[in-house]
Structure 1
Amino acid sequence: MWGYLLRRLFESALILLGITFVTFILLYLVPADPARQIAGRSATAETVANIRDQLGLNDPLFVQYWRYLAGLFQGDMGRSYLQRAEVASLIMARLPASLMLMVTAIVTELIIGLTIGVVAALRRNKPADHSLMIFSFVAISAPQFVIGILLLYVFAVQLGWFPIGGYGTWAHFVLPSVTLGLLGAGWYSRMMRSSMIEVLNQDLVRTARAKGLSKLRIVTRHVMPNAILPIIAMIGIDIGLFMSGIVVVESVFGWPGIGQLAWQAIQRVDIPVIMGVTMVSATAIVLGNLLADLVAPLIDPRIKTK
């Protein structure tokens, strides 16, 4: 296990290094000029040139990248061009809000998705199964910003059950969590249904029935532990989906997380902040997948780490 863990950590470090390189090149190729954004539209060409020189934007690409990488290895993500603050401080100030939203969204999608998947599998080819699968398809297909705006209009504006936006109380978590969770719930429900049906047709279930075990005991003790294994792997992948979708959701609900910070940085071409948020998001994705790979053998000893 330790050898496997060290190898995976080394591979993860290489992946993160590659992400920094690709992201840096893409931002370097963006036609927008960060110096012009800082100086303002009325600034002279001389002022813009001075700002570019101060920020080191006139240096060759690989010189800029090496300077960024050297700082990153020392724990320095740089300073925001526009906010004049350390990128690490800006991210740390907003990260707790995003993490709490991510956790509540994962819990939401698991509760909704697994419940739908189990019920659909136990009612296979019946009206309940067809209706739930249609709901799952809609949840997967609908854009998150559409779901978010629809939930805001119905439950915040019309009914007044939840606040329109902001952050602070449990009520603020409900609509953003549901908006983020519905997409994953659709995937989980379909996967759980397929996995449940596969396990229900195995010999272990027929043996349990022959022993006279109740249907509830068969489902909870034999079917669920085996059917849930693919779900565990998906949770790690889900972190990546949340990091991509959280930008839109946080913007819709005015959520003060790193998604909103990233959106503001993209609009202003604040490269250090974009790089910092990208690194944090990529690290979360890599660690999420690694954690899923390490937990799976603990649930099912038949899975071996190599």
Structure 2
Amino acid sequence: MSGYLVRRLIESALILLGITFVTFVLLYMVPADPARQIAGRSATAETVANIRDQLGLNDPLFVQYFRYLGNLLQGDMGRSYLQRAEVADLIAARLPASLLLMVSAIVTELILGLTIGVVAALRRNRPADHTLMIFSFVSISAPQFVIGILLLYVFSVQFGWLPIGGYGTFAHLILPSITLGFLGAGWYSRMMRSSMIDVLEQDFVRTARAKGLSRLHIITRHVMPNAILPVIAMIGIDIGLFMSGIVVVESVFGWPGIGQLAWQAIQRVDIPVIMGVTMVSATAIVLGNLIADLVAPLIDPRIKTK
């Protein structure tokens, strides 16, 4: 396990290095001029040129990249062009809100998705199965901003049960979590249904039935631990999906997380902030996949780490 962990950590570091390079090159190619954004529309060409020189924007691409990479390795993500604050401080202030929303969304999608998948598998080819699979198809197909707006209209505008936006209480968390977890619930339900059906047809399940074990015991002790393995792998990937979808959801609900920070930075071409959010998101994705790979063998000892 230790050798596998070391190899995976090295692979993760290389992936993150590649992400920094690709993101930096793409931002370098953006036609917008950050110096002009900082100086303002009324600034003279001389002022803009001085700002570009101070920020090192006139240096070649690789000089800028390796300078950024060297600072990053020292824990310095740079300074926001427009907010005049350290990027690390800006992200640190917003990250707890995003992590809270992400964890809540994962819990929401797992509860919905696994419940629907198990019930559909146990009621295979029956009306309940067909109804639940239609729900899964709708949840997968519906855009998140549409789901968010509909939930706001129904539960906030029409009934007034939940706040229309903001942050700070459990009530503020409910609608964003459901919106973000709605898509994943559809994927998990379909995946869990297929996996459950496959496991239910295995010989060891027939043997358990022949021994006279109860249906509940067979499902909870034999079927579920085997059927849930694909779901565990999917959770790590889901973190990446959340990091992309969280921008939309945070904007709809006014949630003060890094998604909203990234959107503001993109609108203003604040490159250090965009790079910082990208690195935090990429790190979360890599760690999520790594944790999923390490947890899977603990649940099923037949999976070997090599």
**Aligned amino acid, residue 135 of structure 2:** F
Matched, 1:287 2:280: no
Matched, 1:269 2:245: no
Determine the C-alpha separation between the residues in 1 that align with 2:151 and 2:35: 40
Alignment size in residue pairs: 306
Q: Which residue of structure 1 aligns with residue 59 of structure 2?
A: 59
Q: Which residue of structure 2 aligns with residue 164 of structure 1?
A: 164
Matched, 1:17 2:17: yes
Q: Which residue of structure 2 aligns with residue 233 of structure 1?
A: 233
Aligned partner of residue 47 in structure 2, secondary structure: helix
**Aligned amino acid, residue 24 of structure 2:** F
Q: For 1:61-80, what aligned pairs fall within 5 Å after superposition?
A: 61-80=61-80
Matched, 1:124 2:127: no
Aligned partner of residue 160 in structure 1, secondary structure: coil
Determine the C-alpha separation between the residues in 2 that align with 1:55 and 1:253: 35
**Aligned amino acid, residue 105 of structure 2:** A
Determine the C-alpha separation between the residues in 1 that align with 2:127 and 2:43: 66
Q: Which residue of structure 2 aligns with residue 89 of structure 1?
A: 89
The offset of 1:206, in angstroms, is 0.7
The offset of 1:112, in angstroms, is 0.1
TM-score, length of structure 1 as denominator length: 0.99
Q: Runs of at least 4 residues of structure 1 off by over 2 A?
A: none
Q: For 1:23-34, what aligned pairs fall within 5 Å after superposition?
A: 23-34=23-34
**Aligned amino acid, residue 70 of structure 1:** G
Deviating more after overlay: 192-201 vs 48-57: 48-57
Determine the C-alpha separation between the residues in 2 that align with 1:113 and 1:61: 46
**Aligned amino acid, residue 171 of structure 1:** A
The offset of 1:205, in angstroms, is 1.1
**Aligned amino acid, residue 117 of structure 1:** G
Q: CA offsets per residue over residues 107-145 of structure 1, 9 Å max, x none?
A: 000000000000000000011101100110110111101
Determine the C-alpha separation between the residues in 2 that align with 1:44 and 1:142: 48
Determine the C-alpha separation between the residues in 2 that align with 1:263 and 1:200: 46
**Aligned amino acid, residue 250 of structure 2:** E
Determine the C-alpha separation between the residues in 1 that align with 2:18 and 2:154: 44
Matched, 1:245 2:254: no
Aligned partner of residue 53 in structure 2, secondary structure: helix
Q: CA offsets per residue over residues 263-301 of structure 1, 9 Å max, x none?
A: 000000000000000000000000000000000000000
The offset of 1:48, in angstroms, is 1.1
Determine the C-alpha separation between the residues in 2 that align with 1:142 and 1:57: 42
Q: For 1:32-43, what aligned pairs fall within 5 Å after superposition?
A: 32-43=32-43
Determine the C-alpha separation between the residues in 2 that align with 1:60 and 1:192: 51
Aligned partner of residue 277 in structure 1, secondary structure: helix
**Aligned amino acid, residue 204 of structure 2:** L
Q: Percent identity?
A: 89
Q: For 1:70-219, what aligned pairs fall within 5 Å after superposition?
A: 70-219=70-219
Q: CA offsets per residue over residues 227-277 of structure 1, 9 Å max, x none?
A: 001100000110000001001100110000000000000000000000000
**Aligned amino acid, residue 286 of structure 1:** V
**Aligned amino acid, residue 148 of structure 2:** G
Determine the C-alpha separation between the residues in 1 that align with 2:211 and 2:156: 52
Q: CA RMSD of the aligned region, Å?
A: 0.6
Q: Which residue of structure 2 aligns with residue 49 of structure 1?
A: 49
Aligned partner of residue 165 in structure 2, secondary structure: coil
The offset of 1:152, in angstroms, is 0.7
Q: CA offsets per residue over residues 22-56 of structure 1, 9 Å max, x none?
A: 00000000011111111111211111111111111
Structure 2 portions without partners, runs of 5+: none
Determine the C-alpha separation between the residues in 2 that align with 1:291 and 1:41: 48
Aligned partner of residue 238 in structure 1, secondary structure: helix
